[in-house]
Structure formats: structure tokens, C-alpha cells
Structure 1
Amino acid sequence: MIMMLLVSVAMSAPAMAASVTNKDGDTQVLVIVEDGSRMEVALEPGSTETICPSGCFVTLPNGDRMALNGGEEVEIQGGAASVK
């Protein structure tokens, strides 16, 4: 009974991931560090990716770094990011 309740609560919790949209005309590569793991994500022009479901650090193409907690909407334009 308790296990069913825990599963139900976990499934009803909304996913809190960040979304990143590339509004540039060129592919942009982000470096993401999440839970100690590093990966690169290439965003094609006009594409949107969902990243960082449990928070992360992102290095942008222009070298800026930002911390994301999840739930943010990030737009990349001119290699720089703005958070909505």
C-alpha cells in the first residue's frame, strides 16, 4: 500500500527540466555538467532541447556559465543566453 502511494506521488510530480532554444542561424554547442557528468549538446538552428531535469551548470558558446535549477526557458541568440 505504501509503495503504491509513493509511486503515485512520484508519477504525479511535474518534471522540472529546463528548455533551451537556439534562435541563431548557426549550430550552438553547450557544455552541460550534471551530477558530475559532462556532456556536449549541439543545438541546430531553431531547435529546442530539454536539459537538466535535476539542475546543472551550462557553459554557453560565448564562454558564459550559468546554473539551471530546472523549469527555466533559455534562448540563445548571438552566442549569448537569456533566461525567460
Structure 2
Amino acid sequence: MNRFLVASGALILAMSGAAFAASAVNRDSEPRTLIVTEGGSKSELAIAAGETVEFCSSGCFVTLPNGDREALSGSETVEISGGSARIK
């Protein structure tokens, strides 16, 4: 019984870890790109029109379409609309 409880607890923790990723929603009619720097590695994140993507599971910096750079902890939502982004 104790093994079952420990295994169940570990499974719940593992599943909840994935829920702490930041997300980006592109509400525009054209694709947008964010520059994501995570763990010293920089990459481009292309987001198609109407698409929602998850990224940045353990904190990162993101460069928004207007050039602003923001620090994310991994629980925020970046909403892109009208060519500009805001963080919720």
C-alpha cells in the first residue's frame, strides 16, 4: 500500500512539472517569431497564425516581436495580437 502511495505521488509530481511551462498565443493572421534564451542557448520560436505553443519550462528570457526582452519564470502566457505582445 505504501509503495502504491509513493508511486502515485511521484506520478502526480511528474505530471504537474509539465504544467509549469510558459505559453505563447499568436492571435494575429500571420506568423510571428519569438527569440528564446534558455540555459545559455538562444533559439527562434516560430508561431503560426492562431497557434499556441508551450516553451520555457524552467525560466528563460524572451525577445518579443517589438524587440523588448522579458524574463519568464515558466508560468506566464505571451499573447501576440496586432504585431505586439503582452505577458499575462
Short-chain TM bin: 0.7 to 0.9
Larger helix proportion, structure 1 or 2? 2
Give the Cα separation in 1 of the matches to 2:66 and 2:15: 38
- Contact kept? 2:21, 2:56, Cα under 8 Å: yes
Map of 2:35 onto structure 1: 31
CA RMSD of aligned residues (A): 2.0
Map of 1:50 onto structure 2: 54
Which moves more between the two structures, 59-68 or 31-40? 59-68
Give the Cα separation in 1 of the matches to 2:45 and 2:61: 13
- Please state how far the C-alpha of 1:13 moved relative to its aligned partner: 4.1
1:9-63 CA-to-partner distances (Å, cap 9, x unmatched) read 7525433100100011111011100000010011000000101000100111111
Gaps of 5+ in 1: none
The structure number with the bigger radius of gyration is 2
- Contact kept? 2:37, 2:62, Cα under 8 Å: yes
For this pair of structures, how many residues does the alignment match?
A: 80
The aligned amino acid for 1:59 is: T
Give the Cα separation in 2 of the matches to 1:12 and 1:25: 33
Sequence identity percentage: 48
Gaps of 5+ in 2: 1-5
**After the TM superposition, which parts of structure 1 deviate over 3 Å for at least 4 consecutive aligned residues?**
none
TM-score, normalised to structure 1, is 0.82
